[in-house]
Amino acid sequence: MVLVLFLSAILFALMFPETPTGRFAKRHFVDAPANWLNNISPVKVFALIGVAVVVAVCSTAFAAEMALIAAGDLTAYFEIAVTLAVLASKLRIRQFASRAMIETRQALIGARRLCKRLHVRVRRSRLRRHAKPQSSDEDGGMALA
């Protein structure tokens, strides 16, 4: 199944090279493996061919055992996927909690600053009020001589 998808991606890259999907498929499914094969040493090529031959022989000779191994691998893969999902959710929860703490802290700091500004403004306005000069006369400002 994976081989069919891989070959269809290569075919798409060859048939439609000017489209963005074709360029993506060519870059990742044609150019990347070609560069990797160009940089590989001859010893590694023979080792890869040997591994492929051993896997082919074992899969034909021990088909039932290979199926059991694959079933065991599937459960291991499922367990790994579940573990990664749980870890990712824990990280998201921690990230959300830390972000909430940061936002709360910033809101509190902003509220404190605002309260200080308002308090200072009230004090300043109280200090700036000048008392009206009162006349020394207690009878309303009329001086009788």
Closest by alpha carbon to 14, among 4, 26, 5? Answer: 26
Digit-by-digit pLDDT tens for the chain (145 residues) are 677 878 888 888 888 888 888 888 888 888 888 888 888 888 988 998 999 999 888 878 887 877 777 777 777 778 877 888 888 887 788 788 888 888 888 888 888 887 777 766 666 566 555 556 555 555 555 555 5
Q: Is 136 exposed, middle or buried (0-12, 13-18, 19+ CB in 10 A)?
A: exposed
Are 22 and 12 within 8 A, CB to CB?
Answer: yes
Query: In this structure, what token pair is assigned to residue 49?
Result: 């061919």
